[in-house]
Structure formats: C-alpha cells, structure tokens
C-alpha cells in the first residue's frame, strides 16, 4: 500500500566546504565566508592584488599588519584584508575587530630564523619594510623643518612603527636593513603625490565649474639655498555639500632671477596649475583669498577675491 509506506528519512545536505581563512561556527557559509573565498581565489588568479591601506581610515595600528585587497580592474577595495605575516584573508565589511583578534590571538605567521651577518638581527620581510617606507615618506612630507625634527610627533610615531615591527619579528631588527635610502623615500613620496593628484584634480575642476572652490596663494623662501617658491591651497565643499576640504594643490619654484611683480606672480601661479591640467578659464573662475601682500593683490586684481 503506497499510502501506508513509511516515508524515507530526509538525507542531510552536504556541508559546504569552507576555506581555512573563513572562520564560522555555522556549517553553512556566511556572506563573509563567501567574500573571503572569492578574494582568495581571485588573489590566486591575479584578478585581485593586495596593497597598503591608504586614505582617511588608516590611523589604526592594525594596518601595520594587514594590506587591503583590491580589484585589479578598478583599483577599488573589495572588502577583505590579508595578513602580511601569514597571508590569512579576513573580511573587513564590519570593521577591523576581526583583524585585531587575528593579530593578537590567531596569527601563525613566522618571521623565520634568518638573522643578519652579526647573528643578532632578524631580516625584516618585504611587506613590513614597505610599511616602514610609507611611514618614512609620511614623516618627511609632514615635517618640513629640521630644528625640532627628532622630537616631533611624526618622528616619535616613526620610531614607534619601527619598535612595533621589531616586536612582530620576535627579535631585534637591523635598522640599517629597515631604513630606506633617500632616493627610495623621494620616489615613494612622488608616487603617492601623483596618485593623490590623479584623484584630487578632477574633484577640484568639478568644484570650480560648480562655483564651490576657493584658493589662496603665498610665496616663501628657502633661506638655506635662497630659492623662492609659490604655493597654492584650495578649499572646496565636498560633492554632497556636507563638509569642506582643504588641500595643498601645488608648490612650485619661482625663478630667483625674476622680480616678484604682480604680472610675474600671476604667470607663475597659472603655470603651476597648468602643469596639472587646469585651463585659463578654470584659473579665472576661482575665487581667491589673499593676505595684504602688495604683489599678490596686484597679481589678482582682476580676479574674484
């Protein structure tokens, strides 16, 4: 009798396999697990790549131990990060708490037993040295003078990064091996400046076109080398109209043999901005904020101030 037959017991669905990087107490994958597995696969296939975290939200020390994962086609972050010690991939969609937990309790990365020629120092891995080079570049860019250099907050933070790296290497590190040469730092600063300008210039152009950009200018002199510079700073309201941003747009050399007349100053200002693709109509459309310097006032006498 078909109606009286005992129905078969339901069979359990096979448990989906999960990556060793994706931690979950459930046998079924969470969206975070899927994101992590997708990132691992695309890192292996070179569709994704990892890079040091940059931008506004980089103040946490956790980013000394992790790189963000980015889509090679768009250069956008995909919502995961990779440990530079053990290459574990974690989701950061809900913040960085998982990164801190991994760093403090779960990281299995080993710096190895390699030592320097003296037998006392451990070699610093390439990704960690990259973190330090970024910090050196930040320090040199932010600390323009040398009088209070050694006690400046920027240098203190730089030293702290070196100490943290030494701790992560589980032993002393050779600062000669860790410290980049001047050329490397200059190249890193230039590369980061170019990257920043690539993103900033289109935003400034749009702000100028929409009448929400102001700029100020000033001249300064390097007393040691007797070189003159002209600087332009822009301030504009962001695209959503919520807050204002201020950026040092250009710092350009002003020929020491040229008199600082109004005409020469204005020409130098325009040449400096033209190097980044700004046109004469865009320059003329900027609303300028000036001090009472006679040459600056003369240079901008026909512009909106």
Q: Which residues contact 180 (CB under 8 A, 6 or more apart)?
A: 129, 132, 133, 136, 188
Tokens of 73: 């086609």
Q: What gap in Å lies between CA 248 and CA 133, rounded to an integer?
A: 22
- Residue 201: the pLDDT is 92
- Residue 15: the pLDDT is 36
The alpha-helical segments, DSSP class H, found in the chain are 31-44, 97-101, 126-142, 153-168, 175-178, 182-209, 262-274, 280-285, 294-299
Distances (CA, A) of 257 to 173, 250, 253, 262: 49, 21, 11, 15
Q: Is the dihedral of CA 136, 140, 146, 150 positive or negative?
A: negative
User: Digits of tens for pLDDT over the chain (305 positions)?
Assistant: 434 443 443 333 333 333 444 444 444 445 568 889 899 999 888 899 888 887 666 667 788 788 899 998 888 999 999 988 788 899 988 888 888 888 777 776 644 433 343 444 556 677 777 887 887 777 777 765 555 665 678 888 888 888 888 777 777 778 888 888 888 888 888 888 888 889 999 999 999 999 899 999 888 777 666 778 888 999 998 888 888 889 988 888 888 788 888 888 888 889 989 988 999 999 989 888 887 778 888 888 877 66
Q: What gap in Å lies between CA 89 and CA 92, rounded to an integer?
A: 10
Each as own residue / partner, the long-range contacts of residues 54-57 (CB below 8 Å, 24 or more positions apart, any chain) are 54/192
Tokens of 283: 């320059």
* φ, ψ dihedrals at 166, nearest 5°: -60, -40
Q: What gap in Å lies between CA 65 and CA 68, rounded to an integer?
A: 10
Q: Please count the helices (runs of H) and the strands (runs of E) in the chain.
A: 9, 8
Tokens of 273: 């901005």
Q: What is the DSSP string of 220-274?
A: EEETTTTEEEEEEEEEEE-TTSS-EEEEEEEEEEE-TTS---HHHHHHHHHHHHH
Q: Is the dihedral of CA 174, 139, 188, 225 positive or negative?
A: negative
- Residue 195: the pLDDT is 87
Q: Is the dihedral of CA 14, 16, 20, 22 positive or negative?
A: negative
- The whole-model pTM stands at 0.49
- Residue 69: the pLDDT is 92
Q: What gap in Å lies between CA 1 and CA 4, rounded to an integer?
A: 6
Nearest to 235, CA basis, from 198, 208, 209, 270: 208
Nearest to 84, CA basis, from 61, 51, 37: 51
């Amino acid at each position: 009798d078909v109606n009286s037959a005992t129905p078969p017991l339901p069979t359990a669905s096979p448990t989906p396999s999960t990556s060793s990087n994706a931690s979950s107490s459930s046998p079924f994958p969470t969206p975070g697990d899927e994101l992590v597995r997708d990132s691992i696969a695309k890192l292996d296939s070179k569709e994704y790549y990892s890079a040091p975290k940059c931008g506004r939200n980089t103040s946490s020390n956790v980013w000394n131990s992790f790189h963000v994962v980015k889509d090679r086609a768009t250069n956008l972050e995909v919502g995961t990060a990779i440990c530079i010690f053990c290459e574990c991939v974690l989701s950061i969609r809900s913040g960085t708490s998982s990164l801190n937990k991994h760093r403090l309790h779960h990281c299995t990365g080993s710096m190895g037993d390699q030592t320097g020629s003296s037998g006392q120092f451990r070699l610093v891995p390439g990704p960690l040295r990259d973190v330090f080079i970024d910090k050196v570049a930040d320090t040199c860019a932010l600390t323009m003078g040398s009088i209070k250099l050694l006690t400046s907050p920027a240098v203190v933070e730089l030293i702290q990064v070196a100490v943290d790296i030494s701790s992560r290497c589980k032993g002393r590190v050779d600062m000669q091996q860790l410290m980049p040469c001047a050329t490397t730092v200059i190249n890193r600063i230039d590369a980061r400046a170019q990257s920043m300008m690539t993103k900033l210039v289109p935003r400034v152009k749009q702000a100028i076109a929409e009448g929400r950009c102001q700029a100020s200018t000033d001249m300064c002199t390097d007393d040691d080398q007797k070189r003159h510079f002209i600087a332009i700073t822009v301030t504009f309201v962001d695209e959503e109209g919520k807050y204002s941003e201020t950026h040092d747009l250009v710092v350009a050399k002003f020929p020491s043999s040229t008199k600082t007349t109004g005409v020469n100053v204005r020409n130098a200002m325009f040449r400096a901005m033209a190097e980044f693709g700004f046109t004469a109509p865009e320059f003329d459309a900027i609303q300028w904020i000036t001090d009472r310097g006679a040459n600056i006032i003369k240079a901008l006498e026909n512009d909106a101030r």
